[in-house]
Structure formats: structure tokens, C-alpha cells
Amino acid sequence: MLFNSFVFFFFLLTVLPIYYLLKTKRHRNLYLLGVSYIFYGYWDWRFCFLLLASTIIDYILGLKMGAVTEPKKKKLFLYVSIIVNLGILGFFKYFNFFIESFQHIGSQFGYNVDFLHLHIILPVGVSFYTFQSLSYTFDIYKGNLKPIRDFWDYALFVAFFPQLVAGPIERAVILIPQVSRKNHATKQQFLDGTILIIYGLFKKVLIGDASGRFVDQIFTHMDRYSSWEVVFAWVLFSVQIYADFSGYSNIARGTAKLFGFELMKNFNQPYLSTNITEFWRRWHISLSSWLRDYLYIALGGNRKGKGRTYVNLFLTMLIGGLWHGASWTFVIWGGLHGIYLAVHKLMLGNKKITAVHHPLNSIRNVLKVLPGMVFTYLLVLIAWLFFRAKGMHDVYAVVGKLENWTWGTYPWRFATILLGFAGVSFICDLFEYKTQSHVFLNRIKYPPLMYGLLCAMFIGVALFLINSKPAPFIYFQF
């Protein structure tokens, strides 16, 4: 069930009133759990069994870890959780990827392993709920969380539908306490939730989906377009994926607020970052912080010398790239960001960096941070090519366009399209940056103007959806 569809609007308007008619926490949580499985099963009901199996296994292992005091036994249960969860993820997401890779190598020596190839359907959101469930067993092992006794509350933590299929990847220490209490949205939460949903739909549909049509057309038929047009599509993809994923995260957060839950902010104007480290503290925050806390630190972090620190950064991002998809292009994308981070760490030396709010209130201040922002964006843009490419043949095609530069027939038209979408996205970011809030519309002190803008945005989204098929979120494939 897609957030950007009339089916979801009907689903939400049906589910929400019934939720508030239920009086007890137990009834509300059981109801939310049931509708979450309906939401997830809308794609394919068979996926629900995998979700349930993962939930049962980690619930039992959590209780086992909480019941023992010996570090070795506790570590054993943690390893079982890791093996089971990564085993599920590896089989459904990477089995055919590795078979295809072995098949390519085997063919060089006359061997055929095609019989090992299985027709596996990738369950929607498996990467997200696997990492979320793992955070629960990790936190119990580290002593940050006590095992939850109520199985149904734990099942809701794993399956909570607003963030089930594409995040944010919530931490058990943050979401489980919310699940364990009776939730009732305040008036402010309801207003903020509504704003986030409409604003998220605006970004996803009117920026992400609309710009994605041009990106898909050009990348699918690169032979028909000039070098300039391909480069414009490449840059436009950076706008598309940001609008698509940040829009989804806003809808997820807004929907959760309507039920009285608070989810973490997943994006914080990443393209205004002045260095690559800051970028990863602003982009897909729930994943980058997960990788930092549960992988980078587990590998040794910066505790084992400078050389090992650089290796750990590279390995963390390499694995993060593979998490995104079963393709060597994703591995290269992650590896590039690993190199970026390691080099930046090397340049920093012993200095520490924090994601700061750079003042943009004067030309002087803008010019001061602009070189860093532009350079960081260019590094990210180079890596986005591998993220967007369906395979290395796409990368080679783009490189070929750059080697044999052509002007084309419609470069100015595509330049105008790019500037339009990028300009709207940039204006949205500036408002967020200035107010440090994704619900900046509630800062409008004249209510009719605020509600008028919200209605206009929603009508624009509705008209677009009436005339086109809802486009899946890019991160659904992960």
C-alpha cells in the first residue's frame, strides 16, 4: 500500500477513528498490530509470515538474554539473533546476486551454475524491519534496554505500519516505551502530523515523482539524448531521490503523530552540508546512526588506531552500500562514501566535527560556506550515478556521453526543468533550515493562509494522482 495513493487515504481515514474509539492501551495496540499486518500484506500476504517469524525469534532471544547473567551465554543469544536476521536478509536479498556473480566467474572456466538460481521475491521493507529488530537484541545485550514481556507490544514495535517498509529505522529504546503506554495525539501533534503528511506528499509526488519521469526517460533511453541532457538527468536524480525519500519520511512521521507516536527525523537538509561527514549526519539519519552505533563501533570505531579507523569507516559504508541493494553498483556507491569519509577523517586529524547550523543571513556568511557545500554536493553527485545506474552498463553509457560531448536538441528545456524542480526543493530546504523544523507552515500566524496553502498543496497532489499511476518510493526496493 503506497502512501501516495487514494487507497492509503481511505485506509488512514478508516483506521484512525476506530483507533480512538478503543479505550484501553491493550485494545489499541492489538488493533494497530492488526492493521499494520493488513497494510503490509496488501503487497503480498505471504510476506506477513516472514515478518511474524522474525518477530517471534527476536522476542524469544530477547527474553533469553534478559534471563541469563553469564556474558558468554548472552553473547551466544546475540549471535543467534544476528545470524538468523542476516540469514533471512541474505537469502531473500542477496542469494541470486551471489549466484549470478559466481555464474559469471564460473562461465570463464566453462562451469554453469545456473541451476542454483532461484526465483525469489524480495519482501518489501525486509532490510528496514530486520535492522530495527536487530537494534532490540543489540540494546538488550549492551544493557540499554530490558526485554519486553508483552509479545503483542513487541510485535507492534516491529510492524508499526507508518515506518514498517522504508523507515525511519527506529531504536527499540525510543519506540518500545511509546508502544508500552496508551497513546493519544495532542492537538499540536494532530496539526503537525497533518502538515507533515501533506508536505511529504507535496515533496514526494510533485517534486519526486514529477522529476522522476524525466530522469527515468533519459536514463532508459540514453542513446537518444545528448551529453547535456544526460548530465541534467543525473543532477535531477539527486533532487528526485531526496524529495522521494524525505517526503516518505515526513509522511511516516506525520502518520505516526496522528496516533500519538513520535518517530525520529530522518533528513535534515543534507545538501546544505559543508563536508561529507556532516552530510551523513543529515542524510538518512536513522540508517547512518544505526551503522555507526551497531557496526562501526562494533568493528572497533576509532579505538584501535588511526589506520584501523579509516578501514572501519570504509567497511561500514561498503556494507551500508550492500544493504541498499544486491548490485555491485551499490557496493561501489558505498565504497566511494567510505573513501570520502576516511579521507575527510584523515584531513581532520584530531579535530572533531559536529553538524552545525551555518548562518545564511548575509552574503558574507553564504560565501563563507558555499565552497564547502558545492564541493560536498559534487562528491555526493558522483556517487549518485552508481546508485541510479541499473548496472555498470549505465555507468559506461554516461561516461561515454561525457567523453564525446554533444549539445543536443532540447538542452535548454531540460535545464529549465532541472532549475524548476531544484529551485522548489531548495526553497523548501531554506524554510526548514531557517526554522529548524519540517512543520514550518505552522509558523504562519494567519491561520486562513496556512490552511489555504495546505489545501492547495493537497489539491495539487490529488490532481497529479488522478492523472497518473502512483509511483513506488525508491527505497521500497531495499
Distance, in Å, from the CA atom of 229 to the CA atom of 413, rounded to the nearest integer, reads: 9
CA distance 394 to 329: 10
Residues labelled as active-site residues: 324
User: ∠371-376-378 over CA atoms, to 5°?
Assistant: 95
Tens-binned pLDDT, residue by residue, of the chain (478 aa): 788 888 999 999 999 999 999 989 999 999 999 999 999 998 888 889 989 999 999 999 999 998 888 888 999 999 999 999 988 888 877 776 666 665 655 555 565 555 555 566 777 888 888 999 999 999 999 888 899 999 999 999 999 999 988 879 999 999 999 998 888 889 999 999 999 999 999 999 999 999 999 999 999 998 889 999 999 999 999 999 999 999 999 999 999 999 999 999 999 999 999 999 999 999 999 999 999 999 988 888 778 878 888 899 999 999 999 888 778 899 999 999 999 999 999 888 777 776 566 777 778 888 888 999 999 999 999 999 999 998 899 999 999 988 888 877 778 888 899 999 999 999 999 999 988 889 899 888 888 999 999 999 999 999 998 988 888 787 766 6
Q: What is the C-alpha separation between 310 and 448, in angstroms, rounded?
A: 53
Model-level pTM greater than 0.85?
Answer: yes
Q: Is the peptide bond before 168 cis (omega within 30 degrees of 0)?
A: yes
Alpha helices in 221-327 (DSSP H): 227-258, 276-280, 285-291, 306-324
d(CA 432, CA 263): 18
Measure Cα distances from 291 to 134, 165, 264 in Å: 12, 18, 16
| DSSP of 200-224 | HHIIIIIIIIHHHHHHHHHHHTGGG
Residue 255 to residue 189: CA distance in whole angstroms:
10
Confirm if 192 and 439 have CB atoms less than 8 A apart: yes
Backbone angles phi, psi at 267, to 5 degrees: -140, 145
Dihedral sign (CA 307, 313, 317, 320): positive
Nearest 5°: CA angle at 18, between 13 and 24? 145
